Amino acid sequence: MSDEDYIYDEASGEWLPASEVAAREAAAAAGPEVRDAVGNLLADGDSVVLVKDLTVKGAGQTLKVGTVIRSIRLTGDAQEIDCRHDGIKGLVLRAEFVRKR
């Protein structure tokens, strides 16, 4: 092996193979994994169902168990999803209160 196959990683202070450094950078760029209440992996555009009654602050409305939320969007946070519901814009839900449909 030559010296060109290894790259110094300043975060860990070690010399790592170039392929491993590239894999770490790709995983970091992909963002955090967002999982629902039962452990299913969520993605942009998925439909989810509420598993708990939720009172929406500022809207004076309660979303009931079984309410379907369509076309979610993932945020940079591993526990929050951005979505819309009838009459409620800018709704942010915690992933622990939804299940993938």
Are β-strands 6-9 and 14-17 bridged in parallel, bridged antiparallel, or unpaired? Answer: antiparallel
Q: Supply the CATH classification number for the domain 48-100.
A: 2.30.30.40
Sheet holding 73-74, edge to edge: 73-74, 80-85, 88-94
- pLDDT at residue 2, as a whole number: 55
Per the CB < 8 A criterion, the answer to whether 68 and 47 are in contact is yes
Closest CA to 50 of 86, 90, 80, 95: 95
Cα angle 48, 41, 83; round to 5 = 35
Pairing outcome for strands 54-56 and 73-74: unpaired
What is the per-residue pLDDT for 93?
93
pLDDT tens figures, 10-49 = 878 889 898 888 888 877 777 788 999 999 999 999 999 9
50-77 pLDDT tens trace: 999 999 988 888 999 999 999 999 988 8
What pLDDT sits at residue 3?
52
What gap in Å lies between CA 69 and CA 24, rounded to an integer? 33
pLDDT of residue 20: 87
pLDDT at residue 87, rounded to an integer: 80
| CATH 2.30.30.40 in the chain, residue ranges | 48-100
Q: Taking the complete model, does pTM exceed 0.85, yes or no?
A: no
For residue 95, the model assigns a pLDDT of: 94
